[in-house]
Amino acid sequence: MTLVGLPAASAASRVIALSPHLAELSCAAGGCDKLVGAVAWSDYPESVAALPQVGDAWSVSPERVLTLQPDLVLAWDGGTPRETIERLRGLNMRVETIAIRRLDDVPGALRAIGGWLGTEATADAAARAYATRLLALRRRHANLAPVRVLYQIESNPPYSVNRDSPISEAITLCGGVNLFADLPALAAPVEREALLARDPEAILFTRQDDVEAIHAFWLRSPKVSATRRNALYVLDGNLLDRATPRLLDGVEQVCAALSDARAKASASRATAPRPNPSPAPVPAPSRKAGPKGG
């Protein structure tokens, strides 16, 4: 995790979160009552949905931020545009940025936010609970038979995620192999031919996507293992896409899906017709020697 910002100051009392997951993290760290603004799609917990909005995760109005008079703005390192961060700092606002790259980064983010908001005890308890649960998940799903997994976003064109995504890490934790871990960007388009060639045994996508279009996409490829075994799984993207304590609920979803796909793969192999062995060659009848002489 990367934490970048101005030197620590007194505990903030008026906070704006510039992404849905930062608003959720603030609440998990004990600072829900300190939030005075958020961005579009901030909806958990319910109280966050009623906050004034200052834009969305990628486009923020500095003027709206100013009117709310925050003493701390939480920005998403990797999401909030750099020019937005610099503009807000140029207006003498305190901006702290948080980047969560791995599952293990969530506790540090909680503790950092708790320190800024003066809610250290609540944040530390949430961080310890998360770390304990993550360790238990890793132990429970260790040494499982691997499952070839496609995490799909959209269908025209289809996108997937590379190894740098916490989603990919969740797949690995659950005994899956991310078939597109080698993509050049965190999320990138994938050619249909590549999808078919890598033959996923489980296809994961979210209910926030176009579920009907993705199902139709795979119905056109009945020979793919996941299609043949009905191993297409719809997940809640708000759990997997937001790096908060609820991310582990998303991991549980992935593990349940891969457990089902693993069982279907095993059953498919067990019932697959075995090729007939080549019949043993039949020896030619021996010829008895005829009577000697002529």
Instruction: Give the CA count within 13 Å in the CB-facing half-sphere of 269.
Output: 6
The predicted pLDDT at position 57 comes to 84
* CA-closest candidate to residue 204, choices 184, 173, 179, 182: 179
Preceding omega of 45 cis (within 30 degrees of 0): yes
Q: Whose structure tokens read 């704006």?
A: 16
The predicted pLDDT at position 289 comes to 38
* CA-closest candidate to residue 17, choices 28, 6, 1: 28
Q: How many CB atoms lie within 10 A of CB 3?
A: 17
> pLDDT tens, position by position, for the chain (294 residues)?
444 443 445 899 999 999 999 999 999 999 999 999 999 999 999 999 999 999 998 899 999 999 999 999 999 998 899 999 999 999 999 999 998 989 999 999 999 999 999 999 999 999 999 999 999 999 999 999 999 999 999 999 999 999 988 899 999 999 999 999 999 998 999 999 999 999 999 999 999 999 999 999 999 999 999 999 999 999 999 999 899 999 999 999 999 999 999 999 989 877 766 666 555 554 554 444 333 333
* CA-closest candidate to residue 48, choices 77, 73, 26: 26
The predicted pLDDT at position 78 comes to 83
The predicted pLDDT at position 10 comes to 83
What amino acid is encoded at 82 in this protein?
R
Bridge partners (DSSP) listed for residue 97: 4, 75
Measure the CA–CA gap between 250 and 40, rounded to whole angstroms: 21
Measure the CA–CA gap between 198 and 182, rounded to whole angstroms: 13
